């Protein structure tokens, strides 16, 4: 079994293995004017395929890049050439560290071996490792997707009271309401009782995950026990996955994703909202 994080050295040695699938899961906020697909076609790790977070989503949900049905996800992976039993390595070249989202999605729908390339494309390129352009050819595959609903929590359950801590991965100013949400029609602030742990605190400057001791310290600073169950939330269900990965690295798989996150909660006039820092 692969480790949750794999190094650039490890991946360079494994490239070309018939059971290895490398996926570029980059996604960028619209305001950046960056096209992840175009950047992938111009430069990617040899043999990689593009995992399109926006396309592989529920477009009828009313909120950004929500988890798709198992049927849609399985068909998308099959078309991409990805099988359940492949050794899958995901990476990104995004400030949002979107490979964590792909890692969650693949595991959620039944992939058995999924790892994140620690440091992503940025570290790979800085080290002078090979890249290529273009799009990959056909690869025969079958992905039988089965969702694991216990990994996800919905707004109605949160409103009833889930009994576990909500940890918000947005930046401090968006969490407090000092900074408006980048999406129109969404109120400022956060869920009552939520703690704030920005996803960026999980990474070093080079994009690699911090050490276990550093991760524990970051959770402790936010007054969150990373060994206990919690709900991860963010702006639209992307960066929250970094907190889920971090907890997994510390041995905790009793976490749940609020997929609608603040895009859903903040747009509903009936949900309670508070502003200011966490208590």
Give domain limits for the chain.
5-147, 150-265
User: Which pLDDT belongs to residue 136?
Assistant: 93
**Do 83 and 256 form a contact (C-beta atoms < 8 A)?**
no
Residues 6+ apart with CB under 8 A from 62: none
User: Which pLDDT belongs to residue 1?
Assistant: 76
Best CA proximity match to 85, nearest among 117, 51, 110: 110
What are 267's two structure tokens? 């747009």
- The low-confidence residues of the chain, meaning pLDDT below 50, are none
Q: How far is CA 134 from the centre of its chain?
A: 25
User: Which pLDDT belongs to residue 161?
Assistant: 87
How far apart, in whole angstroms, are the C-alpha atoms of residue 112 and residue 102? 13
How far apart, in whole angstroms, are the C-alpha atoms of residue 131 and residue 138? 19
**Do 24 and 55 form a contact (C-beta atoms < 8 A)?**
no
User: Which pLDDT belongs to residue 263?
Assistant: 97
Give domain 5-147's CATH number out of 2.60.40.10, 3.20.20.140, 3.40.250.10, 3.40.309.10.
3.40.250.10
User: Which pLDDT belongs to residue 226?
Assistant: 95
Note whether 5-147 and 150-265 share their fold: yes
User: Which pLDDT belongs to residue 278?
Assistant: 83
Give domain 150-265's CATH number out of 3.40.250.10, 3.90.1150.10, 3.30.300.10, 3.40.50.2300.
3.40.250.10
Active site residues: 234
Best CA proximity match to 30, nearest among 211, 241, 266, 236: 236
Q: With DSSP H G I counted as helix, E B as strand and the rest as coil, what are the percentages for the chain, rounded to 5?
A: 30, 15, 55
How far apart, in whole angstroms, are the C-alpha atoms of residue 84 and residue 46? 21
User: Which pLDDT belongs to residue 163?
Assistant: 85
User: Which pLDDT belongs to residue 217?
Assistant: 98
- Count other C-beta atoms under 10 Å from residue 141's C-beta: 16
């Amino acid at each position: 079994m692969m480790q949750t994080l794999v190094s650039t050295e490890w991946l360079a040695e494994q490239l070309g293995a018939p059971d290895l699938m490398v996926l570029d899961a980059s996604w960028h906020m619209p305001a950046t004017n960056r096209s992840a697909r175009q950047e992938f076609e111009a430069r990617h790790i040899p043999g990689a395929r593009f995992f399109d977070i926006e396309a592989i989503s529920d477009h009828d949900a009313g909120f950004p890049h929500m988890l798709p049905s198992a049927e849609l996800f399985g068909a998308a992976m099959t078309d991409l050439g990805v099988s359940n039993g492949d050794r899958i390595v995901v990476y990104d070249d995004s400030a949002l560290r979107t490979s964590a989202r792909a890692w969650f999605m693949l595991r959620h729908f039944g992939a058995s071996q999924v790892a994140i390339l620690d440091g992503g494309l940025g570290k790979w390129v800085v080290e002078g490792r090979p890249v290529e352009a273009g799009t990959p050819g056909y690869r025969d595959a079958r992905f039988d997707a089965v969702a694991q609903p216990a990994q996800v929590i919905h707004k109605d359950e949160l409103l009833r009271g889930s009994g576990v801590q909500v940890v918000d991965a947005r930046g401090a100013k968006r969490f407090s309401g000092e900074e408006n949400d980048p999406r129109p029609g969404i109120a400022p602030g956060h869920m009552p009782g939520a703690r704030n742990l920005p996803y960026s605190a999980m990474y070093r400057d080079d994009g690699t995950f911090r050490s276990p001791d550093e991760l524990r310290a970051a959770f402790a600073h936010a007054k969150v026990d990373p060994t206990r169950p919690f709900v991860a939330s963010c702006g639209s269900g992307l960066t929250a996955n970094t907190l889920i990965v971090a907890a997994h690295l510390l041995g905790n798989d009793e976490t749940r994703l609020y997929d609608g996150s603040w895009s859903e909660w903040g747009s509903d006039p009936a949900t309670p909202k508070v502003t200011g820092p966490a208590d």
